[in-house]
Amino acid sequence: MKKKNLPYRACVGIALFNDHNQVFVAERLDTPGAWQLPQGGIDKGEKPKTAALRELEEEIGTNKAQIIAKTDEWLRYDLPDALIGKVWKGKYRGQEQLWFAMRFNGKDEDINIETKHPEFGRWKWVDFATIPDLIVPFKQELYTEIVKQFLPLTHQD
């Protein structure tokens, strides 16, 4: 099936900010060198806000966070042609995501990426404006838009 005939996978993404207005990023276990923000699919019948808090806990071991903003609209990215048919059982051309900015109200010790189904090998806090430079090329445009929408929250603009 051609990419244009495939739907987008409905997902949420989370920009998790600490008290220093840095954002949480983690390196994928399956793609060393590929960093990303927590994100994941929305279960059938699940509200995006609920999915965002669930994904946060599933991916980083905690949901000690408060939602402070969300993107104005759903944002999309397409997979590169080489990945079509290899990820998500070949059902999707990319993802359509609603992004949430959250304020982390826990301690670094609350973060545990050694979850039931680990996705990340390591994590760190970084300056938010730098994240498009850390992301795989096919997601950079999406991450640039996330930075554009959420940067005013960090008082770094």
Determine the pLDDT at residue 157: 47
Inform me whether the pLDDT recorded for 40 exceeds 70: yes
Comparison of pLDDT for 34 and 37, the residue scoring more: 37
Mention every residue, 6+ apart, whose C-beta is less than 8 A from residue 4: 93
Query: Is residue 128 within 8 Å of residue 41, measured between CB atoms?
Result: no
Determine the pLDDT at residue 12: 98
Q: What is the pLDDT of residues 48-106, one digit of tens each?
A: 999 999 999 999 999 999 999 999 999 999 998 888 877 787 889 999 999 999 999 99
CATH number of 3-154: 3.90.79.10
Inform me whether the pLDDT recorded for 2 exceeds 80: no
Query: Is residue 30 within 8 Å of residue 14, measured between CB atoms?
Result: no
Nearest to 119 by CA among 16, 11, 34: 34
Share of the chain above pLDDT 70, in %: 96
Strand-strand pairing, 39-41 and 65-70: unpaired
